[in-house]
Structure 1
Amino acid sequence: MATAILSRPEITAAEWEARQQLAACYRVFDMLGWSEMIYNHITLKVPGEEGAFLINPFGLHFSEVTASSLVKIDIDGNKLSDSPYGVNRAGFVQHALFHRHLPDAHCIMHTHTTAGMAVSSLEGGLQPISFYACNFQGQIAYHDFEGVTVRDEEGERLLANLGKKRVMLLRNHGILVMGKTLPEAFIKHWSLQRACEIQLATLSMGQPLPVSDEVVAVHQRDLHMAQVPGGPGAADFAAMVRKVDRIDTSWRE
């Protein structure tokens, strides 16, 4: 299990709160089965620090991440806090790109879940065949696979393909979502993952029953009526953190 790296006096209260929220998120992802060995990333901007964000230490499993072991870096990949851990370039290049160019991308999540990779590898991508899939119709960007994301020059194409959308399926690769808050990004990822899981199950049974464009429009119009107060994903994420705490509270360290 990872041990604490930073002492509390070295960081602001706002940064510590962000660290705890992000560490909790890594544990939630692991609890939900979204870990991928020591790979994949969730990043979060540091409040009040321009160009600084937190990322998981390369080499730790999601289940080992703690608030103090998260690495603070700038958008050029330089460490801004003392840490014995490095950062995976395959995660840094992509996440730094979006943090640099998209002011509203406060939190960015990228995973290689089986369902997410399967749907991203399917011609036509996500289809309007379930409640959750209808959430995303017309809101998903796609980017063709170009190999492992370690080359800066791919960034221009990633940004161009993303456009004004904040949810992307990286073809043959996986899920990428962004949010103005971590809970918002979380509920987007959870909903998209569910949509992909349901599509995987439905297509295995036969011909899916598509939802019409007219019904999709009504569904998206009325979605806000089913949200709990507190902001997108806030109550959902809090519920998942409570579940994690019943298993292990070491992420708080």
Structure 2
Amino acid sequence: EYEGVATDLEERERLVADIGTKDAMILRNHGTLTVGKSVADCFIKLYFLERAGEAQVMALTAGPGGLYNPPQGTPEKAAGQGKYGLGMVAEKLAWPALLRKLDRIDPGFRD
């Protein structure tokens, strides 16, 4: 549960307890939170989490009869495959590309 800007240690401790061993969390009425080994890692997780949420909302507009449910085990298999690929995408491709884009838009952003 989001309680405002995390300035008191008790709230931070609750957030840490809530996220547990996971990499991402959706805070009710606030947004998303990701953790990782680098800014790149966190940003890419955040990006894909938010895109997944958008896709889910768009899919729900099709109504209950318009949704496809994959065979049992497929989501778990895909999640396992994505963990390795996401790290590679973050570190080797997406993050460097985003930094190059920022350099073009505003070369002073690093200052």
TM-score bin, normalised by smaller chain: 0.7 to 0.9
Query: What is the aligned partner in structure 1 of residue 41 from structure 2?
Result: 184
Higher helix share: 2
Where structure 1 has 5 or more consecutive residues not aligned to the other structure, the ranges are 1-143
Where structure 2 has 5 or more consecutive residues not aligned to the other structure, the ranges are none
Higher relative contact order (CA 8 A, sep 6+): 1
Change (3 A) 1:163 1:185: same
Q: CA RMSD in A?
A: 2.5
CA distance in 2, matches of 1:220, 1:153: 32
Query: What is the aligned partner in structure 2 of residue 223 from structure 1?
Result: 82
Displacement after TM superposition at 1:247 (Å): 2.0
Question: Highest CA radius of gyration, 1 or 2?
Answer: 1
CA distance in 1, matches of 2:8, 2:80: 39
Task: Say if 2:23 is the partner of 1:166.
Answer: yes
TM-score (norm. length: structure 2): 0.76
Higher strand share: 1
Displacement after TM superposition at 1:210 (Å): 3.5
Change (3 A) 1:212 1:163: farther
Query: What is the aligned partner in structure 1 of residue 32 from structure 2?
Result: 175
TM-score (norm. length: structure 1): 0.37
1:239 pairs, out of 97, 103, 109, with: 97
The question of whether the paired residues in 1 share the 8 Å contact of 2:102 and 2:109 is answered with no
Aligned residues: 107
Q: Percent identity?
A: 34
CA distance in 1, matches of 2:110, 2:13: 37
CA distance in 1, matches of 2:58, 2:25: 21
Displacement after TM superposition at 1:245 (Å): 2.2
Change (3 A) 1:241 1:155: closer
